[in-house]
Structure 1
Amino acid sequence: MTLTDDDKKTVEKYALQNAVKYGQAPQIGAVMGRVMGECPHLRSKAKEVTPFIQEILTEVAKGNPDQWQARLEEIAPELIEELCAKKEPDKGLKELDIEEGQKVVMRFAPNPNGPPTLGSTRGIVVNSEYVKKYGGKFIIRFDDTDPQTKRPMLEAYDWYIDDCKWLGADPDEVVIASDRVPVYYDYAKKLIEMGHAYVCFCDGADFKKFKDAKEPCPHRDVSPEENLEHWEKMTAGEYEEKSAVLRIKTDIRHKDPALRDFGAFRIVKTPHPRPEVGDKYCVWPLLDFEGAIEDHELGMTHIIRGKDLMDSEKRQTYIYDYLGWEYPKTTHWGRVKMHEFGKFSTSALRKAIEDGEYSGWDDPRLPTLRALRRRGILPEAIRKFFIEMGVGETDISISMDTLYAENRKLVDPTANRYFFVWDPVEIEITGKEPCTATPPLHPTENRGNREIEAGPKLYICKEDADKLSAGSKIRLKDLYNVEITSLEPLQAAYLNDSIESVKKEKMRIVHWAPSNGIPVTVLSPDGEFHGTGEKQIANELDNMVQFERFGFCRIDSVNEEVIAYYTHK
């Protein structure tokens, strides 16, 4: 199947709009959504038409921002107006609703079942930035009350604190929920005594039938005294897992089934991984209950949470109303989808690591802060990236290129330049005595030069070698000009050192590495690159460098071989 002319125009206009909006090549995911919305006849044939749509996107990507803008104004000016209408006047964080004299208290509450990812980093950055702005208090609260399904990792507690400090988001207080179970028990008991909570012995499927029918289960109207007895037996370990649940009474006839008598505590007999907790408790609070209690106990004034958690807020409001508390002011934000990673969860990443799919939490292919730090993404770039993203309910689909652009501004002035030849091919030069090349360490900063010994044998990339033909002339960057005399083996004859002849004869410029260079392996999201680089790279341990024609990298280790982590172009 092929696209009609009208279909092609629809694809082009939405591709252009996406390109204009983000200032970069259009992303197929975002464009597909708009196209399928306007062309319902294509929905059942999405797989068939995707290659044709991608062809149009590839053609659009060849343009530049000015060309995209002009073409979009020509074929669909209404989409320019749509962009202007949606564009917020200011980047960054909007003002919080603050009462006079109020001290702002905000929190970030992760489940430590793995290290921070880009998804959780937004919460760290934005909450801490608001607290800095208003001179308030920033709390890290570990919601680690699920020792079974989302089992905490002992290392992750320290990873979170370390990453927060690295981001410039040092917490003023750290709270661990598994240390505070007695507090939750006290409130559970109080709610039972008030007649607002009860122990339910229904099988899950049976309770769902009652809930869906808007009918109370048989245990709902048991007296508080009898419920307290059941509660004591629950916490004493006398009931088996899944045999009893403590529920909060709500409106059993509420129009939203998710709000009808929700679970607050369940029985889990798997020991907690923290040795100081272990098997001390067998009844654990669910997040809606634990979070509600802690937000009050810790004095939260403002909460930022995903719009997908609006039901959680509605459930928690019942607890606040029963206990006579005022709910914190809440802001909701939409999801952020990174094109390069799609959907990901910490649990899924953990399983993939355990299965050997990734080398660890800092594998360069992963969206974890540990991976980004090792690759050389700076905390200042990450903070600016998320702060400028702001807080809004609209779901955001964005490319890592936006973060890379922020990072590039920071690392470009400081990163020394070096030659790295991946997938190397040896080339023998005749007619030239060994010499020393002295290219600059940086193209614009006055930082001196490096020295590279150039003997009769050098290395160039295979992709460059494959483009050569006998008689072709090339410039070995910052060295001299040669003419190819043989392809197998690859040989060349020295011509001259003239820069003028490079321009005059339109020679290709090829970078190279010395035969006595140092082995280099670059670990990147796209795989490993093996080759040879200048010896001086070994002096850049832990520093950011730019491998010319390859990209920015962070030098991770230096032994007999240099290991570098790819950052970005």
Structure 2
Amino acid sequence: MVFDERLVMAFILENAIKYGGKARSKSVLGKILSVKPEYRNAIKDLIEYIKSKIEYVNSLSQDELLKLYEEYKDYVKTPTKAEKKSPLPPLPNAEIGKVVTRFAPNPDFVLHLGSLRPLIISYEYAKIYEGRFIVRFEDTDPRTKKPKLEYYKLILDDIRWLGIEPDEVYYQSDRLELYYNVARELIGRGYAYVCLCPSEEFSKLSKSGVACPHRGQSPSENMELFDKMLSGEFKEGEAVLRIKTDLSHPNPSVRDWPALRIIDTKRYPHPRVGVKYRVWPLYNFSCAIDDYYMGVTHVFRGVEHKVNEEKQRYIYKYLDWKEPTYIHHGRLAIPGGILSKSKILKGIREGLYKSVDDPKLATVPALRRRGFRPEALKNIILRVGISPSNAVIDFSLLASENRKIVDRLANRYFGVRNPFKVYFKRVSHIDLIKIRKHPDYPERGVRRFEFRDEYISLYIDFEDYSNIISRDPFRLIGIGNFILEEADKQVKIRYIDNDVKKAKKEGYKFIHWVPVDHSIKCIFIYPDTTYEGYSELNILDEKVDSVIQFERIGYFRIEDLGRNNINVVFAHD
């Protein structure tokens, strides 16, 4: 693991000044881990690293110590009230009112659980430091990662559903003239050139560390060639604008990396700007330019982007721009939850998934459809934090967090997935059954069941019938204790009494039920299957999008309320 030398030195120097010129490793270690908890994964190496730095610091005179501390002191500061309240660690190089963060999705797909880490963390830090939060659509590849208009809207809808309102929203497809202007400036300074090599030929030269034959062209020659790229004199694949870098760089992909290329937009029109442009920036070029012009101060991104930072650093260096502070996080995974865009789209094409909100998926539309609350998703992401190590979020953890929120919101109802009909002879006092909509909130009212006929028919779940066929007593919740009387063509049960204490003491099976004449068809939609059963009619008091609990089954989101049937989507137990 690579440790942040500036941060480590700042804490050591601060500690040394506090203790008369001699830093103490234990207290320094504690301070560093409070800011960088991910360093615990390499604690032994960190201790040795601190010791090596302390040895140097403790050898300095008081004047040298104070002078060196001036260089590093900005990396150590007392947390603000907002920082103390947040589960996230303090942000390096951050000032109240001056932090600008961004979330930059490609609108070629919807958000998923993995997308939420940079989104929520970026927004939370902007809020903590009273700064600005930007959403920037990186839609500059109409060929390979072609944006779709519906995804722009879905992404913004999901962001706002999470309770996040961006201060600014940008579309890179609106900013191509800016990229062209910066390209001209780099060409004029001699830091960019137009390469006419076939891609295979350039790749061979690059791997060998040999300069492209076009690298030595003058700025005026490159400017003329760039104008020809823009005017359409070159076809797709015939010309690329490259940034001059170190040809001996250990990573060949960094060597003279491509900044702008030609895309045949007549063949691959852009969904927002059509065929207006034919020269499009690649990721590292547009990203660096936008981060600078938008004033982004802190970038939260996956560890896999470190090589991109190396590439972008050349832009900042050549144009004398200040780089943002980069903070890396690991990938998120959910067992059994597919987060790969290509796999999901392939699954939709092959009929494995019905759409991007299929309950099998861990996309944000799918989680919304299942009844997950935005607060639950935000809490999970903030708990995971910004560690550079990969994290696995088990579905049970998601369910537990969501249950804390929806349990108090969800009214209770009865529903049966595998209906099985039983009947009993009504006794006089069983005429009106009242059951609270929520056991903890009597003010929400009750569910009413009126029984007037001599014989009452109920749906119970077939699984429960298989338990009562043994003729052991059981309890119908809210009605009373029963026993199986006969099981021929029709199943008849007999009322015993209404002694709840006895039922609990003797371990009677508690069974939910739905009156046949007070029922509505209910489609129970699960990730892997669908049941066609019944729900009590009282559920029609609810609204679409409400989360309810079917007792003894689980929590569901109401997707559709019709006159003849309802659809509910399973959230979790």
- Against the structure 1 CA distance between its residues 368 and 99, is the aligned structure 2 distance closer, same or farther, given a 3 Å change threshold? closer
1:226-251, CA deviations, whole angstroms, 9 ceiling, x for partnerless residues? 22222122222222222222211111
The amino acid across from 1:136 in the alignment is: G
One of 174, 177, 180 as aligned partner of 1:179: 174
1:201-229, CA deviations, whole angstroms, 9 ceiling, x for partnerless residues? 22222222111111112222222222222
Measure the CA separation in 2 of the matches of 1:207 and 1:336. 36
In the TM superposition, 1:297-446 aligns within 5 A as 297-342=293-338, 344-430=339-425, 432=427, 435-446=431-442
- Against the structure 1 CA distance between its residues 531 and 105, is the aligned structure 2 distance closer, same or farther, given a 3 Å change threshold? same
CA contact (8 A) 1:459 1:513 kept: yes
The amino acid across from 1:476 in the alignment is: L
One of 187, 194, 201 as aligned partner of 1:192: 187
CA contact (8 A) 2:526 2:570 kept: yes
Identity of aligned residues (%): 40
1:52-73, CA deviations, whole angstroms, 9 ceiling, x for partnerless residues? xxxxxxxxxxxxxxxxxxxxxx
Provide structure 1 residue ranges, at least 5 long, that are not aligned to the other structure. Answer: 1-81
CA contact (8 A) 2:335 2:395 kept: yes
Provide the residue aligned with 2:547 in structure 1.
544
SS state at 2:521 partner: strand
Provide structure 2 residue ranges, at least 5 long, that are not aligned to the other structure. Answer: 1-39, 45-83
Provide the residue aligned with 1:214 in structure 2.
209
Q: Does 1:533 align with 2:529?
A: no
Q: Does 1:230 align with 2:225?
A: yes
Q: Does 1:242 align with 2:246?
A: no
CA contact (8 A) 2:457 2:515 kept: yes
Provide the residue aligned with 2:571 in structure 1.
567
The amino acid across from 1:498 in the alignment is: D
Measure the CA separation in 2 of the matches of 1:533 and 1:393. 47
SS state at 1:525 partner: coil
The amino acid across from 1:451 in the alignment is: R
Provide the residue aligned with 1:473 in structure 2.
473
Moved more, 237-246 or 307-316: 237-246
SS state at 1:182 partner: helix
- Against the structure 1 CA distance between its residues 102 and 214, is the aligned structure 2 distance closer, same or farther, given a 3 Å change threshold? farther
Residue 95 of structure 1, CA deviation: 0.8
- Against the structure 1 CA distance between its residues 466 and 225, is the aligned structure 2 distance closer, same or farther, given a 3 Å change threshold? same
Residue 102 of structure 1, CA deviation: 6.3
SS state at 1:170 partner: coil
Q: Alpha carbon RMSD of aligned pairs, Å?
A: 2.4
Measure the CA separation in 2 of the matches of 1:493 and 1:100. 73
Residue 408 of structure 1, CA deviation: 1.3
Provide the residue aligned with 1:61 in structure 2.
none
Provide the residue aligned with 2:483 in structure 1.
483
SS state at 2:435 partner: coil
- Against the structure 1 CA distance between its residues 503 and 297, is the aligned structure 2 distance closer, same or farther, given a 3 Å change threshold? closer
The amino acid across from 2:526 in the alignment is: S
Q: Does 1:450 align with 2:447?
A: yes
Measure the CA separation in 1 of the matches of 2:329 and 2:42. 21
SS state at 1:171 partner: coil
1:252-304, CA deviations, whole angstroms, 9 ceiling, x for partnerless residues? 11112221111111221135665551001111111111101100010111111
Residue 120 of structure 1, CA deviation: 1.2
SS state at 1:555 partner: strand
SS state at 1:330 partner: strand
Measure the CA separation in 1 of the matches of 2:85 and 2:221. 58
- Against the structure 1 CA distance between its residues 101 and 364, is the aligned structure 2 distance closer, same or farther, given a 3 Å change threshold? closer
Measure the CA separation in 2 of the matches of 1:426 and 1:274. 58
1:54-113, CA deviations, whole angstroms, 9 ceiling, x for partnerless residues? xxxxxxxxxxxxxxxxxxxxxxxxxxxx99989xx9982111123557611110000011
The amino acid across from 1:452 in the alignment is: F
Residue 159 of structure 1, CA deviation: 1.9
CA contact (8 A) 1:145 1:286 kept: yes
Measure the CA separation in 2 of the matches of 1:457 and 1:539. 23
SS state at 1:284 partner: strand
SS state at 1:325 partner: coil
Provide the residue aligned with 2:561 in structure 1.
558
Measure the CA separation in 1 of the matches of 2:432 and 2:113. 45
Residue 504 of structure 1, CA deviation: 4.9
- Against the structure 1 CA distance between its residues 84 and 393, is the aligned structure 2 distance closer, same or farther, given a 3 Å change threshold? closer
SS state at 1:361 partner: coil
Residue 461 of structure 1, CA deviation: 1.0
CA contact (8 A) 1:91 1:390 kept: no
Measure the CA separation in 2 of the matches of 1:167 and 1:227. 47
Q: Output the TM-score relative to the length of structure 2.
A: 0.80
Measure the CA separation in 2 of the matches of 1:101 and 1:335. 29
Q: Output the TM-score relative to the length of structure 1.
A: 0.80
CA contact (8 A) 2:415 2:514 kept: yes
The amino acid across from 1:510 in the alignment is: I
CA contact (8 A) 2:95 2:129 kept: no
Residue 140 of structure 1, CA deviation: 0.5
Provide the residue aligned with 1:156 in structure 2.
151
Residue 351 of structure 1, CA deviation: 4.0
CA contact (8 A) 1:108 1:139 kept: yes
Provide the residue aligned with 1:503 in structure 2.
504
- Against the structure 1 CA distance between its residues 270 and 415, is the aligned structure 2 distance closer, same or farther, given a 3 Å change threshold? same
The amino acid across from 2:570 in the alignment is: Y
One of 122, 126, 147 as aligned partner of 2:121: 126
The amino acid across from 2:384 in the alignment is: M
Moved more, 157-166 or 537-546: 157-166
Provide the residue aligned with 1:254 in structure 2.
249
- Against the structure 1 CA distance between its residues 307 and 276, is the aligned structure 2 distance closer, same or farther, given a 3 Å change threshold? closer
Provide the residue aligned with 1:33 in structure 2.
none
- Against the structure 1 CA distance between its residues 479 and 273, is the aligned structure 2 distance closer, same or farther, given a 3 Å change threshold? farther
1:512-553, CA deviations, whole angstroms, 9 ceiling, x for partnerless residues? 111121111122223222211110111111322110011111
Measure the CA separation in 2 of the matches of 1:118 and 1:495. 51
- Against the structure 1 CA distance between its residues 180 and 83, is the aligned structure 2 distance closer, same or farther, given a 3 Å change threshold? closer
Measure the CA separation in 2 of the matches of 1:230 and 1:136. 42
CA contact (8 A) 1:432 1:456 kept: no
The count of residues paired between Structure 1 and Structure 2 equals 485
Residue 347 of structure 1, CA deviation: 3.9
Residue 158 of structure 1, CA deviation: 1.9
The amino acid across from 1:475 in the alignment is: R
CA contact (8 A) 1:240 1:267 kept: yes
Residue 468 of structure 1, CA deviation: 3.4
The amino acid across from 1:97 in the alignment is: P
Measure the CA separation in 1 of the matches of 2:270 and 2:449. 54
SS state at 1:218 partner: coil
Residue 470 of structure 1, CA deviation: 4.5
The amino acid across from 1:381 in the alignment is: A
Measure the CA separation in 2 of the matches of 1:98 and 1:138. 17
Measure the CA separation in 2 of the matches of 1:460 and 1:528. 18
Measure the CA separation in 2 of the matches of 1:497 and 1:110. 59
Q: Does 1:292 align with 2:293?
A: no
- Against the structure 1 CA distance between its residues 360 and 233, is the aligned structure 2 distance closer, same or farther, given a 3 Å change threshold? same
